[in-house]
Chain A
């Protein structure tokens, strides 16, 4: 067990600056956005340092109490990689916010946005099952308020719906945590994971169902994702980008940390009850999510709503990749998750720039965009191609990996191939529809769209990253492969790194 306690700064510094942003607000409101930006920048730098200097796997002990007794953060390959992705995407969206957020209570907006990113990082970092609940609430509470920000009144409906669904979800999660506590008397993820066989089967099944239904809310899986379209459509575009790019990563991570590490076993993956194991339940939910999400996206006239349904469907694909359960499947899932975050947040930012310059949100409004802004049109096309898995774009390699994993696993997992093909065909249909609109010519001459520097930087960087991953996938792939090992090898990958003396019971 190596200990790297200074990594607690990943949580402490954002908290310190979040508390002090109201003081900066006395000086100037616009200054607070810069404070948030630099704090997220610190997180990004520090997490990249941990990732690239290979400081992981390591444990961060809180309050000087060693893991099973106190609380700890665990930085394995997964956490190091995903925290870097979260804070980098958060940094880019913060740069976009410099331009987009000028009205209203900017001070409080900066506080909430900063803590949204820090809360999502905390969800990925934490090694305590109750602490995960706290970070879920930090992410949740800040995102409800952020969604409700904005002059448009439809934001409020989306925010309220999200609040209701998400707080019921976190209550169910809390009940599941307490049910496990009655059996094992501990809240540490590593200890629960090692001792999960000491619980009684009926209680564990019900606790597992509660935990999954609580976490599926943020992971956008089927029966719990009714909030997605309204919330994404109502929110300001920067926030939609943050929800799909940052919130979804944290949600999916938490779901599979619980399903694969806490409720799983080495080799057999998950706790089984009868013939149905919890991983199969997740696979069924993921399939339903993909089908419903893609078909709903197909009929949408509003671009933001279409992107929202597409985001839901992509989360289903990620979950399907994870639920194959083999190392290659989890690799595909993580890769797809990261690719989706990059591409989807870029698409939302582009829509934000277009809406900011007076364009409508309907698909027809995109007609002839090529003449008005070649840069945004190209970036949108790159994002769309990556989403539908066009070869030599980032999304291709991850979908390819998931297909490969399902062939390798065999059995009834072959249906995942069909699922991916179905998703790709439907996605091709609705994304290419927009792309053809963009490149079609219109007779009406309209003025060119000027893109400011601050939204142009994140869009440009994200587009370059998509192309770079497409040409050289090992760049992200190697990190994804290491992360997959942590998920599939529960004892050696996670538990023994946190509590070295424990043996599986």
Chain B
């Protein structure tokens, strides 16, 4: 019972809490660096979710080797490889966004001397 529950729910609960925590950080924090960290947490949550929907308890890895059989009795037994390949794409896109956000953060710190969103707003007025 407990094992069943864990197998069915644990990854989804974990990914959902990551997304929720990240969203909360992005919406409430005032520091630009923390906002970027929040964005990264949201991204990790999404990636975990995508891997989790590909998984099932008796999954084998989706790679043909001498000992690894992806088909048993005419049924596919691997983990679903499609979400895994999408995760690869999502990770790279997340990396690019983070790099760009950090570069904008560097420029903001150079020009305003602060990373606090409130102080930046005041400086603009």
Contact = CB atoms under 8 A, between A and B. Distances in A.
A145 interface: yes
Contact of A130 (B86, B96, B100, B108): B86
Contacts of A141: 93, 96-97, 100
Contact of A164 (B39, B43, B107): B39
A390 interface: no
Contacts, number: 67
Contacts of B59: none
Given A153-B111, A164-B35, A164-B39, A182 B124 contact: no
A154 interface: yes
Contacts of B83: 178, 181
A178 B49 contact: yes
A178 B107 CA distance: 35
A178 B96 CA distance: 21
Interface residues of A, number: 24
A171 B42 contact: yes
A495 interface: no
A134 interface: yes
B46 A148 contact: no
B23 A168 contact: yes
Given A145-B100, A156-B104, A163-B100, A168 B26 contact: yes
B104 to A, nearest CB: 5
B61 interface: no
Interface of A is mostly: helix
A119 to B, nearest CB: 13
A111 interface: no
A159 interface: yes
B89 interface: yes
B97 A163 contact: yes
A154 B108 CA distance: 9
A174 B42 CA distance: 12
A122 to B, nearest CB: 14
Given A168-B26, A178-B49, A144 B89 contact: no
B77 interface: no
B98 to A, nearest CB: 9
A137 interface: yes
Interface string B58-99: 000000000000000000000000110010011001001100
Contact of B42 (A134, A157, A168, A187): A168
A145 B39 CA distance: 17
B77 to A, nearest CB: 16
Contacts of B97: 137, 141, 163, 167
A160 B32 contact: yes
Nearest to B50: A178
Most buried by B among A130, A154, A156, A159: A156
Given A160-B105, A164-B35, A171 B43 contact: yes
A137 B49 CA distance: 20
A349 to B, nearest CB: 25
B21 interface: no
Interface of A: 130, 134, 137, 141, 144-145, 148, 153-154, 156-157, 159-160, 163-164, 167-168, 171, 174-175, 178, 181-182, 187
8 contacts: A144-B104, A156-B107, A160-B105, A163-B101, A167-B97, A175-B46, A178-B86, A181-B53
4 smallest CB-CB distances across A and B, nearest first, come from A153-B111, A156-B108, A160-B104, A137-B93
Interface of B: 19, 23, 26, 32, 35, 39, 42-43, 46, 49-50, 53, 82-83, 86, 89-90, 93, 96-97, 100-101, 104-105, 107-108, 111-112, 120, 124
